[in-house]
Structure 1
Amino acid sequence: MPDLRPPPPTGADDAETITRSLREPELFAGLYDRHAADIHRYTARRLGEGAADDITAETFLIAFRTRARYDTSHRLARPWLYGIAANLIGRHRRSEVRALKALARTGEDPVAASWSERSDDRIAVQAPLAGALAALSPGDRHVLLLVAWADLGYQEVADALGIPLGTVRSRLNRARRKVREALSTDPAFPSAQQELNPTWTK
C-alpha cells in the first residue's frame, strides 16, 4: 500500500516540522524519520536491542504528545529527543548497572554485542570500561555517554538534561576522572587506551 502521508516541507528544520505538525499531525513523522535511528542506536548501546525498540517508540510518543511545549528557538530537536530518551533510560538504571557489572565480571553479557562492532576482539577493553561505567552515578553516566555515544556538544547535553552548562562540565570532568582512575588499575588499560574513544578519559 503506498504511503499517503504528505512529504515534510522542503528544507524544513526540526522546529518548523514540529510547529507545522500542530496543525498537520502527520508531518511529525518527518522528525521520526530524521532521528529515530540515532535514538535507537544510542539506547541499544546502553540497554540492548530489546529495550531500545520500546524506548525509541515511547520517546517519539512523548515527543508527539508534548510537542506544543517545544521551544522553537532550538532549530534542531536532537537534544530534546535525547533528553526524553535519557529520562526513559533512567527508569532502567538498575538493569543497566547490572548488565555493566556482569560484563565487567565475566566479559559476557547479552548487551555486549551492541556496544561494539568488534565485540569479540575488544572484550578486554569493554570489561574494564563496563566496570568503570557501572561505578558512575546516574547523572555522571548520562552526561558522559551523551557526549561519547550520542556525540552531543556540552550545550546540547545541558539542553537535553535540563541542567546548567557548568553542571555538564563538572559531571563530565568527574566521570572522566573516575573512568581514567578505574581503567588505570586494570592490566588491560595500556592496550585499551589505543582502542577507547578519547572522550572517555580526556
Structure 2
Amino acid sequence: MTELETAPRAPEHFTAVFDRHYRDIYAYVARRLGPDLAEDVASETFLTAFDRRQSYDPARGDARPWLFGIASNLVARHVRAESRRYKALARAGGREPRETEFHADAIAGRLDAAAVRGRLATALAGLPEPVRAVLLLVAWAGLSQQEAAEALGIPAGTARSRLHRARQEMRQALGAEIEMDE
C-alpha cells in the first residue's frame, strides 16, 4: 500500500506523508525562494496536497514527485521574487546576505563558491521558468529526470531536453570552472 492510499479514508495517515517529506520540500523551496518564504510555501504545499489527497493516484507509488510538483507550482507563483533574489545575488558579486555571514562553519566552503555564485545567479535568473524548474528539481531536490517530469506534469522527453538546455546554459555562463554530470 502506498503512503497516500489510506490518507483519503483516514486523514490522520497524512501526518506520515508530512513527516516523511516536509524537510525535503522545505529545503527545496528555501533554495528557490529564500528562507523568508520557505516555511509558508512548504506548508501551503502540504495544505494543497491534503486538500487534493483524494485525487492522488495510488498507482504512482511514492508521493515525493507529486509533492515536488505542487511545490514547483507554488514556487512559480513567486517567480518574480525569485528572479529579484538572483539579480540581487548577482549585483552583490555572489556574496550571501549578511544574516548568513555569521555562520563560521560555512565560511570556508563559501569562499570557493563565492567566485562563481554571482555568475550562477545571473545564469539562473536568465533561464525561462520551465527550464529553471526542471534544473532545480534535479539539482536541489535530488529528483531524477523522470520524477521531475512527473512533478511538473510534462513528458519525460520534455524534461530531458529542458535539463539539457539548462546544463548547456550553466556551462556557458560558468565556463570551465564547474563540471555538471549528464
TM-score (norm: length of structure 1): 0.80
Aligned with 1:82 (options 60, 63, 68): 68
RMSD: 2.0
Q: Alignment identity in percent?
A: 50
Does the Cα contact within 8 Å between 1:136 and 1:175 map onto a contact in 2? yes
Match of 2:16 in 1: 30
Q: Name the CA distance, whole Å, in 2 between partners of 1:26 and 1:111.
A: 41
Match of 1:133 in 2: 124
Residue 173 of structure 1 pairs with residue 173 of structure 2: no
Offset of 1:144 from its aligned partner? 0.5
Larger Rg: 1
Q: Secondary structure of 2:59's partner?
A: coil
Does the Cα contact within 8 Å between 1:48 and 1:110 map onto a contact in 2? no
Distance 1:111 1:141, change over 3 A: farther
Offset of 1:53 from its aligned partner? 0.2
Residue 162 of structure 1 pairs with residue 153 of structure 2: yes
Q: Name the CA distance, whole Å, in 2 between partners of 1:112 and 1:92.
A: 22
Q: Secondary structure of 1:19's partner?
A: coil
Q: Name the CA distance, whole Å, in 2 between partners of 1:40 and 1:120.
A: 25
State how 1:66-145 maps to structure 2 within 5 Å: 66-106=52-92, 107-110=94-97, 113=100, 117=106, 118-145=109-136
Distance 1:122 1:113, change over 3 A: farther
Q: Name the CA distance, whole Å, in 1 between partners of 2:165 and 2:98.
A: 26
Residue 60 of structure 1 pairs with residue 60 of structure 2: no
Distance 1:161 1:44, change over 3 A: same
Residue 45 of structure 1 pairs with residue 36 of structure 2: no
Cα deviation digits, residues 43-71 of structure 1 (max 9, x gap): 11111112110011000000000011101
Q: Which runs of 4+ in 1 moved over 4 A?
A: 111-114
Q: Secondary structure of 1:21's partner?
A: coil
Q: Which runs of 5+ in 1 are unaligned?
A: 1-12
Q: Secondary structure of 1:22's partner?
A: coil
Instruction: Give the number of aligned pairs.
Output: 175
Match of 2:174 in 1: 183
Which structure dedicates a bigger proportion of its chain to helix? 2
Q: Secondary structure of 2:12's partner?
A: helix
Q: Name the CA distance, whole Å, in 2 between partners of 1:103 and 1:181.
A: 19
Higher relative contact order (CA 8 A, sep 6+): 2
Does the Cα contact within 8 Å between 1:103 and 1:112 map onto a contact in 2? no
Does the Cα contact within 8 Å between 1:143 and 1:171 map onto a contact in 2? yes
